[in-house]
Amino acid sequence: MHRREILKLLALTSALPGLPPPVLAACHEIHAGLGPTANLRILSPHQDSTVLAMAELIIPRTETPGTKETRVDEFIDHILAAWYTDDDRARFLAGLAEVDARSQKLFAKNFVDASSEQQSEILRALGEELAQAVSALTNAPRGYRGETPLPQDNFYLMFRQLTLAGYFTSEAGFTAQLHEEIIPGRYDGCVPVQSSNPAKGA
């Protein structure tokens, strides 16, 4: 399946574990291909730190590993480098820059330097704007394109989709959180089947 088709399936899937098999397989392949150390191709160190800080707020570490341990930032970097078009990549990076711009305007510091409460405030605002975009599109006349960006063009939607896909298709996220198996269990295809209604006297 073409990468763009997989991205469309990912964008259309709002719930996990509801990812179509091609998307799951492609995401598992990305995780399996990550090297022993980080090798970022698109994200700068600062952008990478911002991605991790935002992702940790969406899926914080509890009794199970968080997004840092599951290398969600490297997963996102791979998607940006190998799957996204130039326009999508530029939109994502511009969104990251806007997160810092908001933080500077509100708190006179970059997002990674803000307190957890301040960071959460910014993510709440991004979430509210996304909800407004969805509502505007849902309630608008057919064919309407207003000033509000369409949901699929919304940076925060892109970020959440990549974060959730990166986490829940990692080994830890898939097994610990979803209680699924990446490698299916053993299949015994030649085991004799016992009758559920044995003959009398047997």
| Contact of 114 with 107, CB cutoff 8 Å | yes
Tell me if 16 is assigned to some domain. Answer: yes
In whole angstroms, what is the distance from residue 47 CA to residue 153 CA?
20
Angle formed at CA 156 by CA 8 and CA 111, multiple of 5 degrees = 145
By C-alpha distance, which of 92, 107, 11, 82 is closest to 47? 92
Between 192 and 94, the more confident residue is 94
State residue 174's pLDDT score. Answer: 65
Write the DSSP assignment of the chain as a string of letters: --HHHHHHHHHH--STT---HHHHHHHHHHHHH--SS---SS--HHHHHHHHHHHHHHS--SSS--TTTTTHHHHHHHIIIIIS-HHHHHHHHHHHHHHHHHHHHHHSS-GGGS-HHHHHHHHHHHHHHHHHHHHHHHHSPTT---SSPPGGG-HHHHHHHHHHHHHHTSHHIIIIIS---SSPPP--TTPPPPPSSPPTT-
* pLDDT class of 18 with cuts at 50, 70, 90: low
Structure tokens that stand for 30 in this block? 């990305």
Range of the domain at 93: 3-177
State residue 196's pLDDT score. Answer: 40
Number of structural domains (the chain) is: 1
State residue 30's pLDDT score. Answer: 86
26-to-13, 23, 66, 121 alpha-carbon distances in Å: 15, 5, 21, 33
Beta-carbon neighbour count of residue 67 at 10 Å?
27
Q: With 0-12 CB in 10 A as exposed, 13-18 as middle and 19+ as buried, what is 84?
A: buried
Tell me if 148 is assigned to some domain. Answer: yes
Tell me if 202 is assigned to some domain. Answer: no
State residue 73's pLDDT score. Answer: 95
Between 117 and 165, the more confident residue is 117
Tell me if 196 is assigned to some domain. Answer: no
Tell me if 147 is assigned to some domain. Answer: yes
* pLDDT class of 179 with cuts at 50, 70, 90: very low
State residue 198's pLDDT score. Answer: 45
Tell me if 191 is assigned to some domain. Answer: no
Tell me if 200 is assigned to some domain. Answer: no
In whole angstroms, what is the distance from residue 146 CA to residue 107 CA?
31
State residue 141's pLDDT score. Answer: 62
Tell me if 143 is assigned to some domain. Answer: yes
Mean pLDDT of the chain: 77
Between 71 and 185, the more confident residue is 71
Mean per-residue pLDDT, 83-105:
95
